[in-house]
Structure 1
Amino acid sequence: METFKSEKQKMIDGELYFASDPELSASRQHAREQMKLINNEMDKQIRKQLIEETFGTTGSNVYIEPSLKFDYGFNIHVGKNFYANFDNIFLDICPIKIGDNCMFGPNVQLYTASHPLNAGKRNSGLEFGKPITIGDNVWIGGGAVIVPGVTLGNNVVVAAGAVVTKSVPDDCVVGGNPAKVIKSIEEKAEMEDVLAAPRKKIDALDREITSLLEQRMDAVMEIAAIKKLKGKDILDSSREQKVLEKIASYTTKDEYRAVLQETYTGIMAASRAFQKEQIDKA
């Protein structure tokens, strides 16, 4: 038995539907009232609240400059840390899903709405749409247009003025009309280049620290021999506490004090284990 679908459900599912349906007409009227409230509201917190009430779902830290235009609002789903500049247009006939950490320039246009190519169907008032999906960490430049059915992968950059007619894979820059892949984003390689200098510095320091720790272990060996001869306990809590206090006093940067004390706690624990190993030897 065929399940009855409302025109609204047909619209959301991407099927042919009549936009003149009374339920949809009332929803569009409500959306226009919400748009007026959102775009005229000067208080950022109240505008944020209005957007959260209007959109299907929103993550934390969503900020949209006025003026914003949309068909319904309930088909718009936005992740966390989203920013849209002035005059964005979201035609949300079908769902528009936007991931986390996305930025839109001014006048970005997302179109899920479409019409039949057949003139007879088009003239009858039938319409349909296709969803738009945007991944995480996407930056869309000003004046870009995303057409129905397009998916943008993660970490995509869309150049200003681009018209994106086909889906785009992760980690690339697209531009032009119709938009094409300009280049891939080698973020990992770029990150390795940035990290090379400080890592080289750490490697040099590690060599010095290893040499000093070897000298420290020579002293630990001497202590282990004395404790074995005198029959003294390996753990000397008061001594270790004094060491930690000295480390705190040697530290010149407050933000490093706790982590350096924790580091020395580990060093002393390793030293105790080494001393026990030496004392337990026949």
Structure 2
Amino acid sequence: MLLPPFHAGFGSNVHIGDDFFGNVNLTFVDDVEIRIGDGVMIAPSVTLTTTGHPVHPELRVDFRRFSEPIVIEDKVWIGSNAVVLPGVRIGYGAVIGAGSVVTSDIPAMTVAVGVPCRVVRHITDDDLRTRSAPVEEPRTYA
């Protein structure tokens, strides 16, 4: 299921597995392949972009760009407003927290959050007994 509206640069470079759920405002910048596995869930307003631009301004004069494929393995969950950048692979069962910017590969069965996105913990059998994915214990401030 892919809820509208969604946006794609080409569309033909996006390959989606079975039992996929993509919520509203999903954006695919698919200048090269985006491969999404089975059982993947993507929350609202996520961007998957395979293309970026050089850092040095002299290299951007002619709108030069680079493109690298994105791979999202099976059973991944990506939270609202996350951005996945070129060349990233997100491993089996990983959870990407809302608002994260994924700049590098994320290992399987981990929870990763932040800007830039970093692994904060592994997903374990303890997670079978809870509905949420707590990152850490609540802090108290004096």
Q: TM-score range by the shorter chain?
A: 0.7 to 0.9
Q: Please report how far the alpha carbon of residue 121 of structure 1 lies from its aligned counterpart in structure 2 after TM superposition.
A: 2.7
Residue equivalent to 2:62: 124
**1:107-146 superposed matches below 5 A:** 107-146=45-84
Which is helix-richer, 1 or 2?
Answer: 1
Residue equivalent to 1:84: 22
* AA of the residue aligned to 1:174: A
Distance 2:79 2:93 in 1: 13
Unaligned runs of 5+ in 2: 130-142
Which residue of the other structure, out of 175, 178, 186, is the alignment partner of 2:113? 175
Q: Percent identity?
A: 37
State the SS of the aligned residue for 1:123.
coil
Q: Please report how far the alpha carbon of residue 119 of structure 1 lies from its aligned counterpart in structure 2 after TM superposition.
A: 2.3
Ranked by relative contact order (alpha carbons within 8 Å, sequence separation 6 or more), the top structure is 2
Q: Please report how far the alpha carbon of residue 190 of structure 1 lies from its aligned counterpart in structure 2 after TM superposition.
A: 5.5
- Structure 1's consecutive aligned runs of 4 or more residues displaced over 6 angstroms after TM superposition are none
Q: 1:123 to 1:183 in 2, by over 3 A?
A: same
Q: 1:190 to 1:87 in 2, by over 3 A?
A: closer
The TM-score normalised by the length of structure 2 is: 0.85
* AA of the residue aligned to 2:39: N
Q: Please report how far the alpha carbon of residue 120 of structure 1 lies from its aligned counterpart in structure 2 after TM superposition.
A: 2.6
Which is strand-richer, 1 or 2?
Answer: 2
The TM-score normalised by the length of structure 1 is: 0.44
Distance 1:135 1:172 in 2: 13
**1:189-208 superposed matches below 5 A:** none
Q: Please report how far the alpha carbon of residue 102 of structure 1 lies from its aligned counterpart in structure 2 after TM superposition.
A: 0.3
State the SS of the aligned residue for 2:45.
coil
